[in-house]
Chain A
């Protein structure tokens, strides 16, 4: 009965989404404020019903109602409560429900009372948002209904894939979806802006917070996913260029380019066409990513069960949404007139180049991800594109963007003098070279790329700090300097934090890729293993039973000479319900890097296979990602107000 109520709430949500997709256009045509009022209310009510439906699915999972097929397939009575709840979004149907829930949430926030957004823009965006919502709820109800029953009711469920039973993965999908789906607002606002013919600084000011918040969520979601892969897969790596990882990375790149160019529209009323195209593309790539993961078109570790009707439905939906928006772009964009012009040597110029670089880098990822599909469709040959392709194409393309970043933040708007700016950055440049030399001297590796990575990171950090110092003006009494530092505009502070985060991430990637030490061996209790200047000793190994798995545990001490560096505990877990084994890496994080150890199976003679990594700077990666999120958050919360509009724009 309860499942039927959930289903009913979902169908009510579907009907309301349809109302939200139709009424606004009618209201605008008739110029009827009542109908506009209805649109806003309906958007909020739609969210209410879908939220209710989501709560019911959660309730079904928590109470282990195995008469519902979805619960049966993805839950089990012996599962800890946290993973029963996470089970809701660990499968295709439930995660699609989460997807539409978040879509409705953003619609409701867009419709909230007291919004300062111009009414014409808001109502049109709500209508488009309703259209997207209607299509996706339709998809959910007819091809992937999470409330479908099975009969007879099984006694127990099949369990959640133990690989997914990790705190990192409990929160990974919600954040990822907040990011993916958050970009739908930018899409709707871009389409609304094009329909209205108003892509201007007011428009940009209203779109930017949406993009920025979606970007923060997406950054956090991707970082969580990477953190999960690092801790749970036990492979010592944190990014695998898997199609599904790429599917989340491409919208992230577009969103990154988008909020930079939105700044140009807001400040200078230039790059309007380009920005509206980016806003459409960012969400389009979210949709393509969704299609990629859920249609079974590419094989991936992450792929959900394959169902041909779903694939066709999603493709039609995607074609209508993206095709519609791009057709609108083709028709309306030529009418947009840029007001501001700028020289190539200017902040806008820098942002434009960075935008182009990021978008080209994104296209290489797109090509690599879809190339196997294109080749298959053209010739019937099956080929694969692996991490090496991405490493040799994506990384070099990104380098100019990172070099220019340091210069662009120092350039003034409209027109700048490159000579002056470079002269102003001389200390950043010199210290980057000095740091590179020091690192090369003390930690020589064969690869010059490694040293270049360090210099690049130091350059970005140095340029960011120089810019910060110039803004604060380091002169006069300390007290006044501090006072000036506190009064810095939050938008500027946020930007500096995020760019510093980029530097941290660059150095972390360099360190973790080029200075890694690893070793493998068979060990008995009391045996030692050598890795660089470290000695690994196996102290204890035993079998034990836990709530829903059995484990083989090994306890190790890491020595450096005669000193104990750390102790590590690693496990191999066996989950009897699904017959799956997982690896729990023993990880000790220190400021300079991780000690990372995984267990293999026990050999016949009782020896334990041990894989040890010294992963330098990996914690910096998580720290850098957090800096990005904080930077975005500070800019967002710190009172970045949309540009003041003339009173004629405020029709509400």
Chain B
């Protein structure tokens, strides 16, 4: 019996390998299929400190939009930020922001520093709405159509390549 104890490490390791193998078949950038083509979860978020208006699910109806999950603490958000600014400047598409798990004031300070590409921003300080969205981390971007249905989700910073090859084609399709 005592000898079996020495095989504990390999037993544990075998368990880990099983998970890693399952993990390989999953794409961390893929949306859980249940949300695609479903309406966005109902939510009404307050404004972040320093702003007047919050964001709610009804705001997403009317035209296609991007819903961008970000936070002032998010290192990778800075990578996609210039691109979002560019999109906002050219009026390519409406971008809504959800400020995820930020302390009061931090989000506004960040936008003051980096610029604000968002038409409306909701404050998701406790991360409840992000859970409904199935957010895995920031930055994360959802493409919603004019009926407020989620059509695509992209995890990670939107680089120029990602924008041109993945997101823009879907956006053009939706705006047609």
Q: Which A residues form the contact surface with B (CB < 8 A)?
A: 163, 233-235, 240, 242, 273, 277, 280-281, 284, 291, 295-299, 301, 308, 311-312, 315, 318-319, 322-323, 326-327, 329-331, 333-334, 370, 372-374, 376-377, 380-384, 386-387, 520-522, 579-581, 583, 598, 600-601, 603, 609-611
Instruction: Flag if B21 contacts A326 (CB, 8 Å).
Output: no
Instruction: Flag if B20 contacts A291 (CB, 8 Å).
Output: yes
* Sample of 16 more A-B contacts, CB < 8 Å, known A233-B78, A280-B9, A384-B135: A163-B79, A291-B20, A301-B79, A311-B24, A312-B24, A315-B20, A318-B20, A323-B17, A326-B9, A373-B19, A382-B136, A384-B136, A520-B112, A600-B112, A601-B114, A601-B115
Q: What are 6 inter-chain pairs, A to B, with CB distance below 8 A?
A: A233-B78, A299-B156, A333-B6, A334-B2, A376-B26, A386-B137
Chain B 132-164 per-residue mask, 1 if CB under 8 angstroms from chain A, else 0:
001111000000000000000001110010000
Instruction: Flag if A329 contacts B17 (CB, 8 Å).
Output: no
Closest to B105 in A: A520
Instruction: Flag if A322 contacts B13 (CB, 8 Å).
Output: yes
- Chain B residues with CB below 8 A from A581, complex form: 82
- Chain A residues with CB below 8 A from B29, complex form: 299
A611 to B2, CA, bound (A): 60
Q: Which B residues form the contact surface with A (CB < 8 A)?
A: 2-3, 6-7, 9-10, 13-14, 16-17, 19-24, 26, 28-29, 32, 73, 75-76, 78-79, 82, 85, 101, 109, 112-115, 134-137, 155-157, 160
Closest to B8 in A: A330
A299 to B112, CA, bound (A): 28
- Chain B residues with CB below 8 A from A374, complex form: 19
A240-B75, A242-B75 known; A315+B136 contact, CB < 8 A: no
- Chain B residues with CB below 8 A from A329, complex form: 6, 9-10
- B14 CB to nearest A CB, Å: 7
Instruction: Flag if B75 contacts A609 (CB, 8 Å).
Output: no
Closest to A296 in B: B28
- B65 CB to nearest A CB, Å: 22
A280 to B9, CA, bound (A): 11
| Interface of B (DSSP majority class) | helix
Instruction: Flag if B28 contacts A235 (CB, 8 Å).
Output: no
Instruction: Flag if B156 contacts A601 (CB, 8 Å).
Output: no
A299-B156, A319-B17, A323-B13 known; A372+B24 contact, CB < 8 A: no
Of B19, B32, B155, B156, which is within 8 A of A370 by CB?
A: B19
- Chain B residues with CB below 8 A from A386, complex form: 73, 101, 137
Instruction: Flag if B112 contacts A522 (CB, 8 Å).
Output: yes
Instruction: Flag if B136 contacts A372 (CB, 8 Å).
Output: yes
Instruction: Flag if A600 contacts B136 (CB, 8 Å).
Output: no
- Chain A residues with CB below 8 A from B21, complex form: 315
- Chain B residues with CB below 8 A from A163, complex form: 79
Task: Please list the 5 inter-chain residue pairs (A to B) with the smallest Cβ-Cβ separation, ordered nearest first.
Answer: A600-B113, A326-B10, A330-B7, A377-B22, A382-B136
Instruction: Flag if A381 contacts B24 (CB, 8 Å).
Output: no
A333-B6, A373-B19 known; A600+B114 contact, CB < 8 A: yes
- Chain B residues with CB below 8 A from A326, complex form: 9-10, 13
A308 to B23, CA, bound (A): 11
Closest to A240 in B: B75
- B146 CB to nearest A CB, Å: 26
- Chain A residues with CB below 8 A from B32, complex form: 380-382
Instruction: Flag if A299 contacts B109 (CB, 8 Å).
Output: no
Instruction: Flag if B112 contacts A609 (CB, 8 Å).
Output: yes
Instruction: Flag if A330 contacts B6 (CB, 8 Å).
Output: yes
Instruction: Flag if B17 contacts A315 (CB, 8 Å).
Output: yes
- Chain A residues with CB below 8 A from B23, complex form: 297, 373, 376-377
Closest to B131 in A: A383
Q: Which residue of B13, B29, B82, B157 has the most chain A CB atoms within 10 A of its CB atom?
A: B13
Of B6, B73, B76, which is within 8 A of A387 by CB?
A: B73
